[in-house]
Amino acid sequence: MGKIIAIANQKGGVGKTTTAINLSGCLGVLEYKTLIVDADPQANATSGVGLNPKNTRNIYDCLINEIHPKELILETGNPNLDILPSHIDLVGAELEMINLPNREQMLKKALEKVKNDYDFIIIDCSPSLGLITVNALSAADSVMIPVQCEYFALEGLGKLLNTIKIVQGRLNPDLEIEGIVLTMYDTRLRLANQVVDEVKTHFQELVFDTVIHRNTKLGEAPSYGETIVMHDASSKGSINYLNFARELLQKNNLTKIGNDDKIIEINDEL
Ligand SMILES: Nc1ncnc2c1ncn2[C@@H]1O[C@H](COP(=O)(O)OP(=O)(O)O)[C@@H](O)[C@H]1O
Ligand SMILES: [Mg+2]
């Protein structure tokens, strides 16, 4: 039975999609069968793994038209990595869902049909706390929160944590916080270290040890439709996300034979 992790933060540009794509790509390379669910009408995860979001049937069809997700899921060029693609139509889905019974549980209902086919299902949320994100949190076993190493890093997190609490109270009592991952760390900026310290002081053991550095390869990989580990396996971005995937596996007491290599020391400048 796969673990469903929602990557959420209502702030845009904090590294949700980059984390969703590359964590999934690394889990795939580590031989964990993984599905990315693109729950953002901007469809960046869909195009980021090399698919044209205009040409595919998509998540809208399984939410609104109750099409079996297996009919909509596509393979990517990356090993062990499938995607349930998104489309700009998903904006309309939010409005159409408002009057449906169980409107917060539509994605959960859909993903239950494929949960057994994967080791991990990673949901890339949109930068909002709207109905689709509530659906993602209702469907998920846990939520991962990317936080960018910049000014006002903690801004908005209170609101997100409050939404998580409401979902835990009313819709999904088993929802856990998987953790916080610090993204776009820039070794040259003293501010970045201050943000790391501040976030660790606030959230302590919830913060993953692996910090994702700013790395230009991470920005360019989606334009090739490749996850970082396929695009440039030796780049800092690839090593960071592989370490992040391994840390996630360790936290979940999962390691496959041959994959329990030591976490590569790259965060030594922290
Ligand atoms: N670690 C990183 N290094 C360099 N660029 C990054 C990194 N993480 C994200 N980016 C870039 O920052 C922008 C926003 O990231 P994205 O993952 O799309 O954020 P979100 O999904 O939260 O809106 C994108 O252009 C992405 O390529
Ligand atoms: Mg995004």
Nearest ligand to the CA atom of 215: 1
CATH topology of domain 3-269: Rossmann fold (3.40.50)
Q: Please state the domain extents for the chain.
A: 3-269
Residue 53 has a pLDDT of: 86
Tell me, using a 6 A CB cutoff, whether residue 180 lines ligand 1. no
Q: What is the mean pLDDT of residues 171-177?
A: 98
pLDDT of residue 118: 98
**CA–centroid distance, residue 246 to ligand 2 (Å):** 23
The backbone region for 240, taken as left when phi is positive above 0, alpha when psi lies in -120 to 50, beta otherwise, is alpha
Closest CA to 1 of 137, 96, 111, 164: 111
pLDDT band for position 268 (cuts 50, 70, 90): very low
Distance CA 155, CA 132 (A): 22
Q: Are 40 and 124 in contact (CB under 8 A)?
A: yes
Mean pLDDT of 38-56: 93
How many H-runs (helices) and E-runs (strands) does the chain carry? 11, 7
Range scoring the smallest mean pLDDT among 30-44, 84-98, 201-215, 249-263: 249-263
The ligand whose atoms approach the alpha carbon of 21 most closely is: 1
Q: Which amino acid is at 110?
A: A
Mean pLDDT of all residues in the chain?
92
User: Is the CB of 235 within 6 Å of ligand 1?
Assistant: no
Strands of the 34-39 sheet, one edge to the other: 74-75, 81-84, 34-39, 120-125, 3-7, 142-148, 176-183
Q: Token match 């835990």: residue? A: 168
184 pocket-lining for ligand 1 (C-beta < 6 Å): yes
Beta bridge partners of 84: 37
127 lines ligand 1 (CB under 6 A): yes
| Size of the chain in residues | 270
Q: Which atom of ligand 1 is nearest to the CA of 19?
A: 17
Confidence of residue 262 (pLDDT cuts 50, 70, 90): very low
236, with CB counted inside 10 A (0-12, 13-18, 19+), is: middle
**Helical packing angle, 131-139 and 90-97, nearest 10°:** 80
Neighbouring CB atoms inside 10 A of 251's CB total 11
